[in-house]
Structure 1
Amino acid sequence: MDMMLTTTETVPGREIAHCIGLVKGSTVRSKHIGSDIVAGLRNIVGGEVKEYASLLTGAREQAIDRMKSEARLLGADAVVAVRLETSTITHAASEVMAYGTAVKLV
């Protein structure tokens, strides 16, 4: 069974046996100079900046995968209260972090 993730404090229809603790996963991504140039041009004419959207989508998926891996190592069945945060490390790099509470279900 795949790791269950929820943004709520419970898993609908399931009972939490006990909390294992905080789990997290993060990644730091930087922009590729080619993508940055294309995104700059797109910024002039307007519209979605697909190069950055793709970069952030990949970063979110990797951060969530790393959080799930940590939860699995601890023997969790699910992660509740999942949250995502982003922060700027430098002008050209950002961190995406996923975190939540690993739990064992009944």
Structure 2
Amino acid sequence: MLIATTEGIAGREVVETLGLVRGATVRAKHIGTDVLASLRNLVGGEMKGYSSMLAGAREQALDRMAAAARDLGADAVVGCRMETSSIMNGASEIVAYGTAVRLR
């Protein structure tokens, strides 16, 4: 599955637009990660526990979006975007969305 942030795929022609596809996941912080992050916040630096958690969440959202596109018979997703929002204290949602298309 080709996924692009652009409105098309170089060297390919979009022959059919199948519609909006999206994938989402909600992740909550672990109390142990929170404690370590609080300590890291005192001295500065990367919060690796959170970075790893969010990287996994982004991949899962993209995988779910690609699966939704495959279910429609798409070859690609164009105009892909990602958003993050806070659901509640300690939980975030990652959403990937774009337009499923068939290519020639």
Q: 1:52 and 1:82 mapped to 2: Cα distance? A: 23
DSSP-derived class of the 1:7 partner: coil
**2:92 counterpart residue number:** 94
Q: Which residue of 1 aligns with 2:33?
A: 35
Distance 1:41 1:87 in 2: 24
Task: Give the aligned partner of residue 103 of structure 1.
Answer: 101
**Moved segments of 4+, more than 4 Å:** none
Cα deviation for residue 18 of structure 1 reads: 0.8
What are structure 2's unaligned runs of at least 5 residues?
none
Structure 1 CA distance for aligned equivalents of residues 76 and 62 of structure 2? 13
**TM-score, normalising length: structure 2:** 0.99
Deviation string 1:38-89 (CA, Å, 9 cap, x unpaired) is 1111111100111111111011000000000000010000000000000000
Matches within 5 A, 1:53-92: 53-92=51-90
Query: What is the percentage of aligned positions where both structures have the same residue?
Result: 62
Superposed CA RMSD: 0.4
The count of residues paired between Structure 1 and Structure 2 equals 104
Between the aligned partners of 2:50 and 2:88, the Cα distance in structure 1 is: 15
Provide the C-alpha distance between the structure 2 equivalents of 1:85 and 1:12, rounded to a whole number of angstroms.
25
Q: Distance in 2 between matches of 1:58 and 1:39?
A: 18
